[in-house]
Amino acid sequence: MSLYEFTAPCHFGMEAVLKREIINLGYDIVRVEDGRVTFRGEASAIARANAFLRTAERVLLSVARFKAYTFDELFERTKALPWADYLPVDGKFWVKKASTTKSKLFSSSDIQSIVKKAIVEKLKQSYHVDWFKEDGAAYPLRVFIFKDEVTIALDTSGESLHKRGYRKLISKAPVSETLAAAILLLSPWNKDRILVDPFCGSGTFPIEAAMIGANIAPGMNREFTAEAWTNILPKKAWYEAITEANDAIRDDVELDIQGYDIDGEVIKSARQNAIDAGVDHLIHLQQRPVSALSHPKKYGFVITNPPYGERLEEREALPALYKELGDAYSRLDAWSCFVLTSYDQAEKYIGRKADKNRKIYNGMIKTYLYEFMGPRPPKRKKQED
């Protein structure tokens, strides 16, 4: 069985979470770099990684890595690759994106056109044709150059993996599905612990938590570009991945996951998103202000993405809002609190210093994940036979 190399980009700072996900799927890690994890697997990994990975932005099938300091080197080394192993004679292929950092080759548009031309020249030799119709399946390529090392890869996902298919209705400054899942998996929260998001917006944190708790694969209900790549992966592999995902669902799991928002229309949108995700029976969504945040049980989690105050008039309301969050959190018994925000005065108004503070980009916005850790619950005593 041939082994391929795959690269999965992720949010900066979440590489360890994605690495753990990939290992849990049974694949070997090749390398971990800033914002990406590379791993090795059979062709079936294309289907399984796209269906199961919660924190990857996409799954890229690596074709080659090589050094190139000039455009001539880029052309010749790209042309030398076995493109007929990846692209059929009728394949529609183009360089969808080229990015370059700390390298001698810095023109993205030139990189895109040179790589495309090199592939065309190689395929002319391989298929003994002078012209390609390109009316078959789509094979988008991505090129990354870092410190003069070129990586060329095929994009197996198509639309970014954060687009699960359930979030048609979104609120302002939403946290992406992949980032929400990464924060949940980074935290010590698990399905046996209470989770409350008092600024739930479109419901992303509660929905992603419910999908984790019920073991619902995030890519079950969407399409991927590589489903049409029958030259690399038979259709059967996709059916097998979805069957595996369906068999893994624990729909009878008992969860205590709640989401509040002060805006009733936003809560309606969150409920519809939860229905579309198939988890509406596992979470409780309610119109409620953050000041009403309470729970009688111990050792729960607040995980939330409060307003950032991007507009001036909204920013003026932030001190009172974060003070309300801090006051409500202080009344909870032995809880932990994870707050994702770009508001740099968050700790001041929450009223305590975070145990950890991670810098994370939510889209193009620089944010901080403030982690206020509560005590661990006591270990349950094993019942005697």
pLDDT tens, position by position, 303-318: 999 988 766 667 889 9
Same domain for 140 and 232, yes or no, is no
pLDDT, mean over the chain: 94
Same domain for 30 and 125, yes or no, is yes
Residue 355 belongs to a domain: yes
| Rounded (to 5) percent helix, strand, coil in the chain | 35, 25, 45
Cα 154 from Cα 93, distance rounded (Å): 9
Q: What is the extent of the structural domain holding 20?
A: 4-155
For 173-199, what is the mean pLDDT? Answer: 95
Torsion, Cα of 284, 304, 287, 54 (10° steps): -40
**DSSP calls for 328-358:** HHHHSSS-EEEEEES-TTHHHHHTS--SEEE
Same domain for 115 and 211, yes or no, is no
For 89-93, what is the mean pLDDT? Answer: 97
**pLDDT tens digits for range 238-290:** 999 999 999 999 989 999 999 999 999 999 999 999 999 999 999 999 999 99
**Which CATH number goes with the domain that contains 309?**
3.40.50.150
Residue 382 belongs to a domain: no
Residue 374: pLDDT over 80: yes
Q: What is the pTM of this model?
A: 0.94
- pLDDT-derived band at 173 (thresholds 50, 70, 90) equals low
Task: Note whether 59 and 18 are within 8 A (CB).
Answer: no
Residue 379 belongs to a domain: no
Residue 172 belongs to a domain: no
What one-letter code names the amino acid at 364?
Answer: M
Cα 158 to Cα 34, 57, 227, 228, 245: the distances in Å are 22, 10, 10, 11, 20
Question: Which of 123, 155, 187 lies at the terminal end of a domain, its last residue?
Answer: 155
Task: Note whether 77 and 150 are within 8 A (CB).
Answer: yes
Same domain for 196 and 287, yes or no, is yes
Residue 169 belongs to a domain: no
Residue 168 belongs to a domain: no
Residue 146 belongs to a domain: yes
Residue 384: pLDDT over 90: no
**DSSP calls for 2-70:** --EEEEEEB-TT-HHHHHHHHHHTT-EEEEEETTEEEEEE-TTHHHHHHHH-SSBS--EEEEEEEE-SS
Same domain for 194 and 119, yes or no, is no
Same domain for 231 and 337, yes or no, is yes
Residue 22 belongs to a domain: yes
pLDDT of residue 385: 43
Same domain for 193 and 338, yes or no, is yes
For 359-379, what is the mean pLDDT? Answer: 89
Cα 39 from Cα 155, distance rounded (Å): 15
What one-letter code names the amino acid at 105?
Answer: L
Same domain for 65 and 210, yes or no, is no
Same domain for 92 and 200, yes or no, is no
Same domain for 318 and 260, yes or no, is yes
Q: Based on the structure, what is the number of domains in the chain?
A: 2
**Which CATH number goes with the domain that contains 60?**
3.30.2130.30
Task: Note whether 174 and 273 are within 8 A (CB).
Answer: no
pLDDT of residue 365: 83
Same domain for 322 and 359, yes or no, is yes
**pLDDT tens digits for range 96-135:** 999 999 999 999 999 999 999 999 999 999 999 999 999 9
